[in-house]
Amino acid sequence: MKLTRRRRQRLARSAGYVVFALVILAVVAAADWGTLSEAFFRLDVARSMFPEAITVALRNTVFYTLMAFAFGLALGLVLALMRLSSVLPYRWFATAYIELFRGLPALLVLFMVGYGVPLAFPDREIPGGVYGSVTLGLGITAAAYMAETIRAGIQAVPKGQLEAARTLGMSHTRAMISIILPQAFRIVIPPLTNEIILLTKDTSLVYVLGVTSTTIELTKFAGDALNTRVNPTPLVVAGLLYLVITLPLGQVVRYLERRAARER
């Protein structure tokens, strides 16, 4: 039988599938399933984590994320507008802020807010306790990223939109509020959703602030359970709970991107 080009291609592809399946099978066969499930999938250990895993840990993770996101979004918007301002010092300030906090690790900023600032000003307190420190510590960094995203969104709105608004007698501020920003935010919703996903994961750094049993978040909660039960199952549980937050957000991004592509 002569090998035509198509037949050769089909053969190569089938060979690929077979090798892939064999590798998977070999790994499955080689694995020690008893030990694995004993270590990572102990149902009694998993069960002992509930309901606190959800009512306290997951709740706090979501809460920290939302607080930091709200703070970062508000500050990011201000920075984006300063960055695009015609006032030179505003532009300088915004650029310096963005360059600085985009370049620092979130953990370092969190240490600074949680320990550095209280040490420097012992008789002052960041309002809101741990919640306030987390909002600032994570929000300061998030604002730097979001400022750049929002700036790009504002610049992606065609110049003619501002001209049309100004021509109708709107002031620059009014045109920004009614015409430019609503369209800019439509453009930046997908990247901002990605920012929420990143923030969700960054809340795992909060443990360095010394959280209590009421302010604990998922990663620290799982770490504590790991210590008391001497079994890694809690890490798997925490991982799954993170996915409960981040997977739907990922879907939202995909949906919004598809919709945006249709509208173009």
Closer to other proteins by Cβ: residue 26 or 164: 164
Task: Find the shortest distance in angstroms from Cβ 183 to other proteins.
Answer: 5
Closer to other proteins by Cβ: residue 7 or 174: 174
Tell me if 210 contacts other proteins by CB under 8 A.
no
Q: Which of 96, 100, 164, 243 binds other proteins (CB under 8 A)?
A: 164
Tell me if 169 contacts other proteins by CB under 8 A.
yes
Tell me if 259 contacts other proteins by CB under 8 A.
no
Tell me if 105 contacts other proteins by CB under 8 A.
no
- Size of residue set near other proteins by CB under 8 A: 19
Task: Find the shortest distance in angstroms from Cβ 150 to other proteins.
Answer: 16
73 vs 9: CA distance, rounded Å: 51
Residues 145, 100 contacting (CB under 8 angstroms): no
Closer to other proteins by Cβ: residue 171 or 251: 171
Candidates 72-80, 84-92, 115-123, 176-184: pick the segment binding other proteins (CB under 8 A).
176-184
65 vs 63: CA distance, rounded Å: 5
Tell me if 171 contacts other proteins by CB under 8 A.
yes
Tell me if 167 contacts other proteins by CB under 8 A.
yes
Closer to other proteins by Cβ: residue 95 or 161: 161
Q: Which of 115, 131, 155, 186 binds other proteins (CB under 8 A)?
A: 186
Closer to other proteins by Cβ: residue 4 or 86: 86
Tell me if 260 contacts other proteins by CB under 8 A.
no
DSSP category for residue 41: -
Tell me if 166 contacts other proteins by CB under 8 A.
yes
Q: Which of 128, 129, 182, 250 binds other proteins (CB under 8 A)?
A: 182
Tell me if 189 contacts other proteins by CB under 8 A.
no
Q: Which amino acid is at 46?
A: A
214 vs 31: CA distance, rounded Å: 39
Rg (CA), the chain: 25
Task: Find the shortest distance in angstroms from Cβ 247 to other proteins.
Answer: 29
174 vs 176: CA distance, rounded Å: 5
Residues that bind other proteins (CB under 8 A): 158, 160-161, 163-171, 174, 178-179, 182-183, 186, 263
